[in-house]
Amino acid sequence: MIAYIIASGLGTRLKEFDPITPKGLFPIHGIPFMEYLLNELNDMSNIYITSNRENFKAYQKFIDNYSIRYSIKNIGLFEIFGSFDDVLFNLDNLIKPTEAVCLCCCDNIAVLKYRLASFENDIITDKYDQIIISPKIKNWYKYGVLTISDDKSYVTSFKHNNTISEKEKNMNDEMYIDGGITITCHDFVNKIKNGGGFEKYMEKSLLSKRVGYYEPMAWFDIGNMESYNDTCQSSLFQKYFNKGKVSE
C-alpha cells in the first residue's frame, strides 16, 4: 500500500507563531511532527509527500536527512489546488488503478491497534470501497459529521457542516468528524471524483454503502496553535510516542 501525505497547504493558522517552518515540520519534543507520522507509515511500499512552492525545499531537506529504508518522494505543486484536488492530481499521475492508497494529512496522527498497512486487504478484496479512520470529537464540525452504524463498523451518512441543525449539534454522541485518514484505491476515487470538492466526494462515496469506519485509540492534531500546544503538553502523546518511535 502507498501512503500519500497532504502537505501542500499554506499553514496560515500557524504562520503567526512561525512564518518559516512548514506545519508538518513543527517540533514535538524537539522532533519534527512529520517524523512521528513517517514512523507510523514505515511498512508502506512507497510514501509521497505533496508540498508546495513555499515549503518544497524545507520538506526536501527533511527527507534528505531522514534515515529510511523505503522510498519517500517529495512532489512540489507550484499551484495551490486545495487538499482534495491535490489528492486527485497525484492519483492521476502517480498511483496504479488497482493499488490501495492511504491518504493522510501532515498535521495529524492516529494511534491504532493495528498497523495502517493491515487495512489494505479490506480494500483489495473489495470488502470496502474505502475505510475512514477518524476520531469521535464533540463540538468540532470542520467539514461535517459522519453517522456510524450501530456496530460502529460502517459509515451510514455524511452531512456537511452548513447543513447541521442546532439540535444535531447538541447530540454530541452522534457526531463524528469526517476525514482524518482515508484508505481507498484509485479506481474508486475516479468513479466519483467529478466536481464538487471534498464535500461532494463524501456524499457520492457514501452512496456505495461500503464505507468502513475505524475509531483510533488516540488522535493528535497540530493544525492550529491550540491543538499544537495541546499535543505538545499531552501525556498521552508521550505515552504512545518516544523519540519519534512508536511505543510498544
φ, ψ (nearest 5 deg) of residue 113? -75, -25
Report the C-alpha gap between 111 and 92 in whole angstroms.
30
In a domain, 124, yes or no: yes
Report the C-alpha gap between 234 and 239 in whole angstroms.
9
In a domain, 27, yes or no: yes
Report the C-alpha gap between 21 and 81 in whole angstroms.
20
Three-state secondary-structure class, residue 246: strand
In a domain, 147, yes or no: yes
Task: Determine the structural domain holding residue 22 and report its residue range.
Answer: 2-242
At 8, which amino acid appears? S
Cα Rg for the chain, rounded, in angstroms?
17
In a domain, 247, yes or no: no
Tens digits of pLDDT across the chain (248 residues): 888 888 877 667 777 777 788 889 999 999 999 999 998 888 888 888 888 888 888 999 998 887 665 678 877 766 655 556 666 666 666 666 667 888 888 888 999 988 888 898 888 888 888 888 887 765 455 566 777 888 878 888 777 766 767 666 666 555 555 557 888 887 777 776 666 666 677 777 777 778 888 888 898 989 888 889 999 999 999 999 875 444 33
Q: Which three cell numbers stand for residue 181?
A: 485518514
| Domain count of the fold of the chain | 1
In a domain, 248, yes or no: no
In a domain, 203, yes or no: yes
In a domain, 140, yes or no: yes
Phi-psi bin for 112: left (phi > 0), alpha (psi -120 to 50), beta? beta
Please give the angle made by the CA atoms of 204, 93 and 73, to the nearest 5 degrees: 115
Query: CB count, 10 Å around CB of 4?
Result: 23
Domain of 202, CATH number, reads 3.90.550.10
